[in-house]
Chains A and B, each alone.
Chain A
Amino acid sequence: MLGLNKKDSSLFLLVLLLVIFAPFLLNPFPENSELAQFNAGYPDLMQRFLIFGIFAIGFNILFGLTGYLSFGHAAFLGVGSYAGVWMMKLLTMNVLPAIIISVIFAGLFSLLVGYISLRRSGIYFSILTLAFAQMSFSLAYSVLTPITAGETGLQLALDDPRILGVSQVDGTIPLAHFFGLNMRESYELAMGGWLFTFNAGYYLCAVIMMIAFYVAIRIFRSPFGMMLRAVKSNQQRMNFTGLNSRPYTLAAFVISGMYAGLAGGLMVAMDPLAGAERMQWTASGEVVLMTILGGAGTLIGPVLGAGFIKYLENIFSKINDNILYEWFSALPTAVADVLVFVIHPFIGKGWHLTLGIMFMLIVIFLPGGIMEGFQRIGKMFSRKKKTATGPSGAAPAPAE
């Protein structure tokens, strides 16, 4: 299907189904139940899953295939966001030009950064990209304030020209739309105790994310993707065979920069504002984490990682001591007190602590991420099966 082999087609279809039915799948608990707070089926969060999924897919094309660890990818996301908001200020509230321009600007910026940074490899590359990202971050806060609006963040205003659209509707800023389809428009479906929300913005993100995912699969399976893997496994040998690796890595860098720009553009399309903190290096660290957590170099891993982190972030920052006490209400007060005292540092504002610990645990114990975890579990089961069928089926024991 679509030039994919059987395995990839089924993966693609699986992701497609998951994305289409996400509003159902992510809302497993009835609206009025205690567990409703674990639901993730509201538009804002679902959009974030997809947007960060795109960001992580793009990062994975660079890091997963070539092994170049960029610590500055948030800068491309930031550039994309700014470009997107400017399109909405100057041109029209239609999100399409904003998204396209975000991708183009992020692509150009990543071409510049990549051209310089890719002269070095290893840790030098990481630090060069980090330097560029920090540079853009400080510039966005200081000199470029006329373009970026500094600390307040770039927002839409009533007196923006919007030459192809209207600058204001009845004295308010018009809403972002896709050829008339309002991004905030939602269809709510009440079914028994459940309430499912189908949001226009979410489905726009979904379409774009599926396209991005498809392109990523094609890149992974193409001769170009093979070249990128060659860069990761042994660049020197690749050079000896007469291949210049730089054009390939630069192309991968620009592609992943454009993915980041696309994510930035979509962020703007969903919520038209852009701030410099999106470019900070902790934001770059976050996308690295998503990719690693899911499994760098795998197709679906980064999307899983992005969803996982955004979901945990949402849950952990929402929980507070009162909710904890409610959960532990069955226990004796003293035990509940102790439990709440122990858990307290990790929830609410302490979400970053949990994130840091998770980060460390993943890198230490599961460098291949969730996907490696799945594989290990799978192997465990297949081994059990083999031993169950009889000792002859098992691999011969190594001589000792």
Chain B
Amino acid sequence: MDAILLQILNGLDKGSAYALIALGLTLIFGTLGVVNFAHGALFMIGAFCAVMLSRLLSLSYTTIDPDRTDFLGNPLKVETPYVEAWFGPETGAAIIDWSVPLAILFSIPIMAVIGLVMERGLIKYFYKRPHADQILVTFGLAIVLQEIIKYFFGANPIPTPAPDVFAGSFDFGAMIGMDPNVIIYPYWRIVYFLFAAVIIGGVFAFLQYTTFGMVVRAGMADRQTVGLLGINIDKRFTVMFALAAVVAGLAGVMYAPINSPNYHMGMDFLVLSFVVVVVGGMGSLPGAVLAGFVLGILESFASMAQVVSLLPGINQIIIYLVAIVILLTRPRGLMGRKGVMES
């Protein structure tokens, strides 16, 4: 029982990331009908927003402290971050410590602008082109974005710690009345899961309860009719593309402490997210979220020691296997709608 619970919990954080990326992919696909292979790169850029902000915040100036000396006997150089100088040492240190959550605010405008530029500058011209062309051009874009990040930040993973408050783990088992020390769970992962839940809830609420969302849903169902009603649906779909970029970016920002960002993390996640979208059903938002969590949890079950000893290597391929089985038995995916992506 506790082992099962532990695996479910372990699968949650990866599942959340899959769900968030797949949600964005599905949004883009459902609205614009474009297959975006550069979505993983957006996730990666989000993670590097966190890196960038933490670097910006720890920009320092150097002063020489004449009273103290370093081990060579020279006057000690003291690095003081600007934020500490501006807000006082304690508030400044706290700001630096909280750089990852602050990066959420920092990344939203950046990701929105990147999304808008991408859509208006490139994707717009590919609405009518075949899917193969869309895949290829966004694949090229993904390589370009990845290489740009690599050029500025280098090829090595950059550790980006979470705030001290969330460092370490807590005893989840003891909290729900099970034996202590059985289910130890890192704080940040639970934060990530809650964050993902909020974002997913927010996106659904936006689509469900606002007029804007209603129009977008109508456009997804029948674009032509909505256009005939005198609504500029293209404009709204562009906004949805930016929203999808922001969702992917936020997923990346919060993922930075779990996995140190490196330039190819987007590609690694992209392939899996596409599989998630296909399993969930092309164009189905709840399907994408459901499949994201299901596959994340399945993956964590497959990496249990008992399972791996029984079927070696299963943890590496479980997602692909599930995807193959699902595609062959339920071609539309778990919750796919009729008429979407059927040639």
How many Å lie between the Cα of A323 and that of B142 in the bound state?
A: 29
Given contact pairs A288-B136, A357-B140, A360-B144, A138 touches B316 in the complex (Cβ within 8 A): yes
**Shortest Cβ gap from A60 to chain B (Å):** 13
Categorize the interface residue count of chain B: 35 or more
The residue among A67, A282, A364 with the most chain B CB atoms within 10 A of its own CB is A364
Question: B274 contacts the other chain (Cβ, under 8 Å)?
Answer: yes
Interface string of B8-49 (1 = CB under 8 A from A): 000000000000000000000000000100000000000000
In contact, B144 and A357 (Cβ under 8 angstroms) = yes
Contact of A359 among B140, B282, B321, B328 (CB under 8 A): B140
Determine the residue in chain A with the shortest Cβ distance to B343.
Answer: A122
Residue among A123, A126, A367 having the largest count of chain B Cβ atoms under 10 Å? A123
A359 in contact with B139 (CB, 8 Å) = yes
Most buried by B among A116, A363, A364: A363
Tell yes or no: B165 within 8 A of A by CB. Answer: no
Given contacts A116-B324, A356-B144, A359-B143, contact A138 B132 (CB under 8 A): no
Chain B residue contacts of A235, Cβ below 8 A: 343
Contact partner of A353 (CB less than 8 A), chosen from B147, B267, B316, is B147
* Interface majority SS (helix, strand, loop, mixed), chain A: helix
Question: By DSSP majority rule, is chain B's interface helix, strand, loop, or mixed?
Answer: helix
Per the 8 Å Cβ criterion, residues 304-332 of B in contact with A are 312-313, 316-317, 320-321, 323-324, 327-328, 331
> CA–CA, A367 to B140, complex, Å?
13
A108 at interface by CB-CB < 8 Å: no
B218: chain A residues at CB < 8 Å are none
Of chain B, the residue at the smallest CB distance from A134 is B271
Closest B-chain residue to A344, C-beta based?
B151
Q: Number of contacts between A and B (CB, 8 Å)? A: 112
The residues of A that contact B136 with a CB separation of less than 8 Å are: 288-289, 292, 359, 363
Asked if B86 is at the interface (CB within 8 A of a chain A CB), the reply is no
Q: Of all chain B residues, which has the CB nearest A282?
A: B267
Q: A128-B323, A281-B271, A353-B148 are in contact. List 8 more A-B contacts (CB 8 A).
A: A71-B135, A123-B135, A128-B327, A131-B275, A142-B313, A142-B316, A359-B136, A367-B133
Spell out A's residues near B (CB within 8 Å): 67, 69, 71, 116, 119-124, 126-128, 130-132, 134-135, 138-139, 141-144, 235, 281-282, 285, 288-289, 292, 345, 350, 352-353, 355-360, 363-364, 367
Smallest CB-CB A-B distances: 10 pairs: A143-B313, A356-B143, A359-B140, A353-B147, A138-B316, A360-B140, A356-B144, A131-B320, A363-B137, A135-B320
B interface residues (Cβ-Cβ under 8 A, vs A)? 35, 122, 125, 129, 131-133, 135-137, 139-144, 146-148, 151, 267, 271, 274-275, 278, 282, 312-313, 316-317, 320-321, 323-324, 327-328, 331, 341, 343
